[in-house]
Structure 1
């Protein structure tokens, strides 16, 4: 009798999930995959679906995207970056999907690796007069965290408000002792989707991957670098960590701060009066750029759409630096189409990643790249963690978003799209220098003869790509 009741209950739950899949309008291939999992893996199938399968764009875990109201058009000067006509469509796409327009009264500093980045960050923190907002996926105990604590204590004594937001999974190792020190000196802290059993199933798969610092709504930092000593000391297994970060001064910082304050409200429940934050501009027309926040609550797949559009707009070259390139069908086809059309497509990544399963999955796509004529460069002098895309000396993308399902569909990310020929050419030069120090893979016939055992492992890993 009990077994019959359990079977009936399982069938009822499975049917509810089937109806949910049909109503949510996910891709047919994904729907079929989840239906197969639900009906062939007892219990485990619907647990996996709860963890990884639900469509957040339909269910709206958070629906506070515009909690600060529409951006006052008078606050920001409309800019028209000097880019070709087909790339103007990208700026319109970003404006419509993320409500972040092009700003041009900005100064931009490109920061490479931990030493330069943290020197710039600590110098800027000392200049704070009103507030310091920090948001990190990984915030770890160590020398950097201790130095930040010292700065925080001095600035709070000067009546500067400090708010720190950290991800519940990425910063899971952050000690309670350190958090108590922050609270003691007056730092306001909040944890984004903490690791709690009550929200475990609904929140585990959706992380806040952003790295943002905003100082007085005037100076902002974002990019790939977390608060971790490995950016200064390196990693025993992977060597020196290489990454790219940005320092922004000007009106674009206002968009970074709006992103932070939205996340702060979601995590803490405390709403801050945003009207008190003044929009700053550098005196002259400077660097044109757009800040693009994205997440699973957006109406559209913002980051995927922008990446896809940039790839399709490439006419001369497309250079990508990214440690986690696990493309979905659309991105893969766009990359291959660009290369087959005569665009110089190159991918630069580390010779190995920090997660072996991810490394196998990344390599599972190499054969497709090479067949289409895409050049692959494997960097062996440390671990490349940068998330960079360069296109035709017109667009440079720097930020937190990888080219994988997690960044494109599940994580909260922040990417900066810069429309500046000088910056693009400088970054292209650095890219080509790194390529010269890397191992080139370009021979498709030779690569496809690799041992069948490697192909089998890569094929298995590829099956898990939607979860990675």
Structure 2
């Protein structure tokens, strides 16, 4: 008996080291250096737990079918944009816009176009009312794509609006993330189908996840397209502002009119095709708006060849000449973004980060605090917004570039989630966004490097340990 126990101990020890050595040769070749370090640390400490977790969550892979369908969609978008070619907006030479616009177009497929109107909706209830009113005025079709929908008063209001639109003969389609909108799908799917609304769950889990991709990859976009006249894009989901108890959300939504609506419809059609294989016709005859705002869509996600959102955000940070303000609820940057922020501040650019003082994800909150010291010492200003959970995601560069959408400044948004943003090259839109930023700052606590360095040692340790898990967030 003792011999058998001795043999079993040696067998477990050999297996333990075999896993460690295999991970050392396998993981670095399939992950970024930062992610590889995190995974190797976990496997090194707990091999029998770390290996299964890596096999499930380690590689940001999508099924070949999804990657192929995204490539097909990108090709169609590039070919069909010839219809909008007369609306192409040419940025002035020798400006940051002239450098960012070609990058966004080459990576995300959409060219900058003029003739649009952009309304920024900073009030949660007002943004919801605008969406419901637009659905109520639909005459042809309503397309909604959202990460999260709850079975609450807001979910009920949206479902009722879709039922009423379908009863009028409006063709309604609803795309919801299978995980984020699980409650809404469970409550409303049969009811919507009975009303004639087409419903699809994006990136389904369970036994079907192998046909989708890594199980924690999500479609995080928030898009609404009504007829060929109006679109909504931003951070707000289909749920009440206090859907997370104790964390009432503050959001920002851009209500769009003009040719950009056809581009937004193309993003919806692309995601519908990726999920269903069904091709939708995109309306291209969208009227021009007198406001004549130049816009450019920035879609991103793991199905694209490059990290579109990360590259665009980093380029904007580097291109800022005087000031850049970045607003995000989750701030867990990769090394490239961290370096860009530090270099911009040390170069004399006023860099202002506005983050939420409260956070509904504790590990993420601890991890992002690990970056404050380095950034504060470089001259980056960090403000913590206190009245609500600031869930808005946007940035402004100098006086002529604004980015509004669903993109967080974290590794998950950059590498794992499908996201969407709209770049607005317009001083009036930027001025409106600056007013919103100033309103945030009036209710913020500005951190100081000296005060931050006085935090207890146990907090520093907690932050450092949490930062090691950045590849898992």
User: Partner residue of 2:279?
Assistant: 272
1:156-205 per-residue CA deviation (whole Å, 9 max, x = no partner) reads 12211111111111112226342221111111111112231452794322
The 5 Å alignment of 1:241-256 reads 241-256=249-264
* 1:44 pairs with 2:88: no
What is the deviation of 1:323?
Answer: 0.9
SS of equivalent residue, structure 1 residue 222: strand
Name the CA distance, whole Å, in 1 between partners of 2:154 and 2:62. 37
SS of equivalent residue, structure 1 residue 64: helix
What is the deviation of 1:395?
Answer: 0.7
Name the CA distance, whole Å, in 2 between partners of 1:190 and 1:58. 18
1:157 to 1:351, Cα distance in 2 relative to 1, 3 A: same
* 1:96 pairs with 2:121: no
The 5 Å alignment of 1:53-452 reads 53-56=58-61, 61-68=66-73, 69=76, 70-76=78-84, 77-82=87-92, 85-174=95-184, 176-199=186-209, 202-229=213-240, 231=241, 236-238=245-247, 240-267=248-275, 269-274=276-281, 277-284=283-290, 286-442=292-448, 444-452=449-457
What is the deviation of 1:88?
Answer: 1.2
Bigger shift: residues 380-389 or 28-37: 28-37
CA contact (8 A) 1:349 1:384 kept: yes
1:146 to 1:22, Cα distance in 2 relative to 1, 3 A: closer
1:301 to 1:86, Cα distance in 2 relative to 1, 3 A: same
SS of equivalent residue, structure 1 residue 352: coil
1:41-90 per-residue CA deviation (whole Å, 9 max, x = no partner) reads 33322222223321438978532124342333431121124585233111
CA contact (8 A) 2:166 2:196 kept: yes
CA contact (8 A) 2:221 2:419 kept: yes
RMSD (Å) for aligned C-alpha atoms: 2.7
1:192-231 per-residue CA deviation (whole Å, 9 max, x = no partner) reads 12231452794322000000111123311110000001x2
1:71 to 1:217, Cα distance in 2 relative to 1, 3 A: farther
SS of equivalent residue, structure 1 residue 203: coil
CA contact (8 A) 2:35 2:471 kept: no
1:242 to 1:31, Cα distance in 2 relative to 1, 3 A: closer
SS of equivalent residue, structure 1 residue 105: strand
CA contact (8 A) 1:221 1:245 kept: yes
Name the CA distance, whole Å, in 1 between partners of 2:355 and 2:13. 48
CA contact (8 A) 1:105 1:283 kept: yes
Give TM-score, length-normalised by structure 2: 0.90
Name the CA distance, whole Å, in 1 between partners of 2:261 and 2:21. 48
Name the CA distance, whole Å, in 2 between partners of 1:303 and 1:90. 12
CA contact (8 A) 1:83 1:419 kept: no
CA contact (8 A) 2:298 2:422 kept: yes
Gaps of 5+ in 1: none
1:111 to 1:249, Cα distance in 2 relative to 1, 3 A: same
Bigger shift: residues 448-457 or 75-84: 75-84
What is the deviation of 1:250?
Answer: 1.3
Give TM-score, length-normalised by structure 1: 0.90
Name the CA distance, whole Å, in 2 between partners of 1:417 and 1:43. 46
Gaps of 5+ in 2: none
Bigger shift: residues 82-91 or 323-332: 82-91
